[in-house]
Amino acid sequence: MEQQLKLKNEKLTRTTDELNSTKEKVKNLEDQLKQKTEESTSLGKNKDEIQDKITKLEGDLAEIKKEKENLNEKLIESDDKIKSLEAQIEENKEKLSEFEKIKEEVEQKDRELEGVKKELQQAISDKYIEIETLKDEMNKLASEKESEIIEVKNQLETKAKEVEAVKVKLKSLEEFMEESKSYPQVVEKLKDLMVHKGFVSDKELEEILNETLNE
């Protein structure tokens, strides 16, 4: 658009120069006409020839005036076009300014979105690390609990075996002491031990029997 305006200005300059040149020609012709008229009046000879020259000069003058009018019209038309181009340039400048403003807003939004994106990526990474840490802790805790459960099961199995052994011993003792007067005391002592300890060792059973039988 600015290039077009520059070309129009150059064309306007040339048209103005042509108009000035034409004005100069008109002035020269007018001077020549005046001079010829004066010569015709003062000399009074070659009237017909001079008249032809005058007629020719008048025709040339009329043609030059017409050319001048055309140049004036072209000059006015060029001025109008230049004004139109200037208005278009001004309008485009306003649109360009608005476009630059919108572009800046879009770039700002892009920067904000990029920042949010990075924050979300960091948050996801942190959460992933946290989840993996919790998984490790959970697996470790599950492994520890499993070991504890296995240990408790082993203890329970051991206690169960001990209880079965005591039951066998009690049964044998009951059979052995069916006719013994000290049977109630033995049973009572064994019950006390079972209440307090939960089991009776071979040594303790032997001691109870010896104490009871020796009374």
d(CA 115, CA 120): 9
Residue boundaries of the structural domains of the chain? 2-105, 151-213
pLDDT tens by residue, the chain, 215 residues: 556 666 666 666 776 767 677 777 767 777 777 776 666 566 555 566 667 777 777 777 778 778 778 877 877 787 777 778 777 777 777 777 777 887 788 788 878 878 877 887 887 788 878 888 888 888 787 777 777 778 878 878 877 777 777 677 667 666 665 555 555 666 777 777 677 776 666 677 677 666 665 55
Residue 149 to residues 34, 156, 160, 190, 213, Cα–Cα distance (Å): 136, 10, 16, 30, 43
